[in-house]
């Protein structure tokens, strides 16, 4: 099980996992804590003022439990005990006392991914990644190179996104992971979320490029690291994760790092595990807390490790080169608590330190660095126009400051915060994320209307600053926006103080829109979509209603007029 060598020979680099100390058998085969369940689906109901005025309290079905009221709007929230939201909404809409009823979509949007092991991933909670996934989950336009032991492309959480890589020792394309370390790191960066299986990584669409630098003992050479960095950038990697290190400040690696940096790549490295007396020798260091390279290079973001309580892990190194911290686990010889380790993917064909197929708990600054690399990938995918320096600034500026105020030698700029980083990327021009709220107040679903139909509602992009962030609203009758022509000009930018109050943000007061639609007799579907200026994203809503036609004279050809022609 020795994935790190007992002593570090000169001119070698090792993978920065804390050495596995043989301890009591793992007891993690038992059922893991269930993923946090949302409180259940909800419906939103507004009663007709007439129904409330009669003094009779409307009684929804026994399936519903009252949760609360959105005061400014008089909209009540009910939990659906059976979970069958569609049936509840249908029953409510059939009730004449109900003005409208709809699923509480916001609750659904904020739901957690359905991956069964997410409940064990304290690390993702610590950096607010689940909240960030409501805004963005990462596209395939960013490639992260993982200089490591290879990546297993057959793992169900990684399959389809491992791109061809390089084995720098064999000068071949064989990047099979015979140690597991690289597959673990890759899973933190990009394990597929919401696929009903396994774990969740930070950026679900990211391309993972394996650069195998190790031999079968986990050792790597300086020349291999330098070659690997160069190969990765040559083949399109914008982010390079370096979860290894050594004591030598190699000029060759410096040159490779500098060149990669000049070409716009973001390099992220493990800060080193020699921060405590208990382990520095077994970690291959000859002194306590020596600078570890390449992390200590100025052009590289060095990442230290946090335990599950947010404290610096005892082994994590300190010094002026530390830039950020991220979850790495406390470790220790008593391997009994999964919260002391980071759970991620493992080659299904390799035995893992605990008896489970395809997953492993590991600990070290090796595990911390990919949290930053994965967050960087999510940031870049959210806003592809950002420069490398902008991505780096976002990571530093949005980190949660820990320890003494400001940058310090223990925590750097602080703990990476995925939510805040993605929010920042989304607020800058060129972003792709949006949080568009598009609400139709009228017509209400399934109403029957006479005469012209008034369309009314509001739309905001809550990620935009200083306005609604919406620059176009379009309506389509009986045709989806992808197929049809929009109806006449909507009037939008109408003051909606109720919306501003609802969101608690005064800048969004001008979110209203309205349009009068001539609908012939019959049932119709009205589509409305709103466009976010910042993100370029559209949000679409539709509503069904029935019209009994305009009660105006029908313009038939006049026989008299025809005769006088
Ligand atoms: Ca998964
Ligand atoms: Ca600080």
Same domain, 415 and 460: no
Contacts of residue 22, defined as CB under 8 A and 6 or more positions apart, other chains included, come to 1
Distances in Å between the Cα of 325 and the Cα atoms of 271, 373, 396, 405 are 9, 12, 10, 15
**Ligand nearest the Cα atom of residue 35:** 1
Q: Find the mean pLDDT for residues 278-295.
A: 90
Q: Kindly name the residue from 88, 115, 120, 148 that is annotated as catalytic.
A: 148
Rounding to the nearest 10 degrees, give the CA dihedral for residues 326, 196, 176, 28. 60
Q: Are residues 198 and 63 in the same domain?
A: no
Please count the residues of the chain. Answer: 565
Among 401, 427, 453, the domain boundary falls at: 427
Residue of 181, 184, 371, 524 marked active site:
181
Please compute the mean of the pLDDT values over residues 384-400 and round it to a whole number: 96
Centroid of ligand 1 to alpha carbon of 153 (angstroms): 14
> Hey, how many other C-beta atoms are within 10 angstroms of the C-beta on 519?
22
Q: What is the CA(404)–ligand 2 centre distance, in A?
A: 4
Q: Is residue 466 part of a domain?
A: yes
The pLDDT of residue 565 is: 32
Residue 484 belongs to domain spanning? 436-547
The ligand that comes nearest to the alpha carbon of residue 190 is 1
| 343 contacts: CB under 8 Å, gap ≥ 6 | 117, 120, 121, 123, 199, 359, 360, 361
Q: How far is the CA of 35 from the centre of ligand 1 (A)?
A: 13
> If we measure between CA atoms, which residue out of 39, 32, 47 comes closest to residue 79?
39
- pLDDT tens by residue, 138-165: 888 899 999 999 999 999 999 999 999 9
CA of 56 to the centre of ligand 2 (A): 58
- C-alpha to C-alpha distances, 336 to 311, 340, 361, 522, 545, nearest whole angstrom: 19, 8, 11, 67, 60
CATH at residue 251: 3.40.50.200
> Are 503 and 416 part of one and the same domain?
no
Ligand 1 center from residue 171 Cα (angstroms): 32
Q: What is the mean pLDDT of residues 463-483?
A: 76
Asked whether residue 338 carries a pLDDT value surpassing 70, the answer given is yes
User: Do 419 and 447 share a structural domain?
Assistant: no
Residue 501 CA to ligand 1 center (angstroms) comes to: 38
Residues 137 and 256 in one domain: yes
94 belongs to a structural domain: yes
| Cα–Cα distances in angstroms (integers) from residue 523 to residues 68, 257, 445, 457, in the given order | 34, 65, 11, 20
Q: By mean pLDDT, which of 166-180, 186-200, 446-460 is the weakest?
A: 446-460
Q: Where are the beta strands (DSSP E) in 149-213?
A: 166-167, 207-212
Note if 333 is an active site residue. Answer: no
Tens digits of residue pLDDT in 299-336: 999 999 999 999 999 999 999 999 999 999 998 766 67
| pLDDT tens by residue, 57-116 | 566 677 888 887 776 577 788 888 887 877 888 888 888 888 888 776 533 234 578 899
Within a domain: residue 311? yes
In this prediction, residues 349-362 reach a mean pLDDT of 86
Pairing verdict, β 436-442 and 453-461: antiparallel
Domain boundary among 53, 74, 103: 103
* CA dist 245 → 23, 303, 404 (Å): 26, 12, 27
CATH number, domain of 486, equals 2.60.40.10
Mean pLDDT lowest among 14-23, 212-221, 493-502: 14-23
The answer, yes or no, to whether residue 560 has pLDDT greater than 50, is no
Alpha helices in 44-111 (DSSP H): 49-53, 85-93, 105-109
1-58: pLDDT as tens digits = 223 332 333 346 778 776 543 332 332 222 222 222 235 677 888 888 777 776 655 6
| pLDDT value, residue 268 | 98
Same domain, 481 and 416: no
**318 and 463 together in one domain:** no
Q: What's the rounded Cα separation, in Å, for the pair 279 and 414?
A: 24
Could you tell me which residue, 189 or 79, shows the higher pLDDT?
A: 189
Structure confidence at residue 110 (pLDDT): 42
427 classed as catalytic: no
Residue 377 Cα to ligand 2 middle (Å): 24
Looking at the fold, whether 163 and 63 belong to one and the same domain comes out as no
Ligand nearest to the CA of 412: 2
Neighbours of 223 (CB within 10 A): 16
Q: Provide the 8-state DSSP code for 2.
A: -
Q: Residues 6 or more apart from 188 whose CB is under 8 A from it?
A: 123, 201, 202, 342, 344, 367, 370, 371, 374
Question: Across-strand partners of 532?
Answer: 470
Same domain, 504 and 538: yes
Give the global pTM: 0.65
Residue 484 or residue 414, greater confidence: 414
pLDDT at res. 504: 67
203 as an active site residue: the answer is no
Beta-bridge mates of residue 69: 76
Ligand nearest to the CA of 399: 2
User: If you average pLDDT over every residue of the chain, what do you get?
Assistant: 83
**Can you say whether residue 56 is alpha, beta or left, with left for phi > 0 and alpha for psi between -120 and 50 degrees?**
beta
Give the total number of structural domains in the chain: 3
In a domain, 113, yes or no: no
The number of the ligand nearest the C-alpha atom of 404 reads 2
Say if residue 408 is in the same domain as residue 352: yes
End-to-end CA distance of the chain: 100
Q: Indicate whether 341 pLDDT > 80.
A: yes
Q: In the predicted model, is pLDDT for residue 535 greater than 70?
A: no
- In a domain? residue 19: no
Could you tell me if 99 and 229 lie in one domain?
no
The span from the CA of 142 to the CA of 145, in Å, is: 10
Dihedral sign, Cα of residue 281, residue 282, residue 285, residue 289: negative
Provide the pLDDT for residue 481.
Answer: 75
Is the residue at 37 inside a domain?
A: no
Cα(193) to ligand 1 centroid in Å equals: 4
Q: Can you tell me whether residue 419 is helix, strand or coil? A: helix
Q: How far apart are CA 191 and CA 206, in angstroms?
A: 9
Query: Per mean pLDDT, which range of 72-81, 170-179, 217-226, 302-311 is the poorest?
Result: 72-81
91 within a domain of the structure (yes/no): yes
Mean pLDDT of 359-379: 96
pLDDT value of position 534: 64
Q: How far apart are CA 205 and CA 191, in angstroms?
A: 9
Provide the percentage of residues in the chain whose pLDDT is more than 70. 83
pLDDT of residue 266: 98
Whether 94 and 149 share a structural domain: no
* Any domain includes 340: yes
Catalytic residue among 203, 221, 250, 366: 366
Contact of 378 with 367, CB cutoff 8 Å: no
């Amino acid at each position: 099980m020795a994935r790190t060598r007992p002593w570090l020979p000169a001119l070698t680099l090792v993978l920065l996992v804390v050495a596995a100390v043989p301890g009591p058998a793992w007891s993690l085969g038992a059922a893991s804590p269930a993923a946090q369940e949302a409180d259940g689906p909800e419906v939103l109901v507004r009663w007709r003022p007439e129904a409330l005025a009669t003094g009779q309290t409307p009684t929804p079905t026994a399936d519903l439990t009252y949760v609360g009221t959105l005061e400014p709007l008089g909209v009540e929230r009910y939990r659906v005990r059976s979970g069958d939201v569609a049936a509840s909404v249908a029953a409510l809409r059939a009730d004449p006392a109900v003005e409208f009823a709809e699923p509480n979509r916001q609750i659904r949007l904020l739901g957690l991914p359905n991956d069964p092991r997410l409940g064990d991933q304290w690390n993702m909670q610590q950096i607010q990644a689940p909240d960030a996934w409501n805004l963005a989950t990462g596209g395939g336009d960013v490639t992260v190179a993982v200089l490591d032991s290879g990546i297993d492309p057959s793992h169900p959480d990684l399959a389809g996104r491992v791109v061809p890589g390089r084995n720098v020792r064999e000068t071949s394309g064989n990047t099979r992971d015979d140690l597991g370390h690289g597959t673990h790191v890759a899973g933190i960066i990009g394990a597929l979320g919401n696929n009903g299986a396994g774990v969740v990584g930070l950026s679900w669409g990211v391309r993972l490029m394996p650069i195998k630098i190790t031999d079968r003992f986990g050792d790597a050479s300086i020349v291999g690291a330098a070659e690997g960095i160069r190969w990765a950038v040559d083949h399109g990697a914008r982010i390079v994760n370096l979860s290894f290190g050594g004591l030598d400040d190699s000029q060759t690696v410096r040159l490779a790092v500098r060149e990669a940096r000049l070409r716009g790549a973001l390099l992220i490295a493990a800060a080193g595990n020699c921060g405590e007396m208990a382990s520095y020798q077994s970690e291959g260091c000859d002194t306590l807390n020596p600078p570890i390279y390449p992390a200590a290079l100025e052009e590289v973001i060095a990442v230290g490790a946090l335990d599950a309580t947010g404290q610096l892990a005892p082994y994590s190194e300190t010094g002026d080169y530390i830039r950020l911290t991220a979850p790495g686990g406390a470790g220790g010889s008593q391997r009994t608590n999964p919260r002391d380790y980071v759970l991620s993917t493992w080659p299904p064909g390799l035995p893992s330190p605990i008896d489970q197929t395809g997953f492993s708990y590991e600990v070290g600054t090796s595990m911390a660095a990919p949290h930053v690399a994965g967050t960087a990938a999510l940031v870049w995918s959210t806003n592809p126009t950002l420069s490398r320096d902008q991505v780096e600034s976002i990571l530093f500026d949005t980190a949660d400051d820990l320890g003494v105020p400001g940058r310090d030698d223990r925590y750097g700029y602080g703990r990476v915060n995925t939510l805040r980083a993605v929010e920042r990327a989304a607020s800058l021009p060129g972003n792709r994320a949006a949080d568009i709220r598009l609400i139709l107040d009228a017509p209400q679903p399934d109403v029957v209307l006479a005469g012209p139909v008034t369309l009314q509602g509001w739309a905001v992009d809550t990620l935009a600053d200083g306005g609604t962030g919406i620059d176009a609203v379009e309506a389509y009758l009986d045709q989806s926006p992808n197929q049809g022509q929009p109806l006449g000009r909507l009037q939008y930018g109408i003051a909606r103080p109720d919306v501003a109050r609802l969101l608690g943000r005064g800048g969004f007061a001008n979110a209203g829109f309205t349009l009068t639609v001539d609908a012939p007799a019959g049932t119709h579907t009205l589509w409305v979509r709103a466009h976010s200026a910042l993100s370029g994203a559209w949000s679409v809503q539709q509503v069904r209603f029935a019209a009994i036609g305009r009660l105006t004279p029908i313009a038939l050809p006049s026989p008299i007029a025809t005769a006088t022609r």
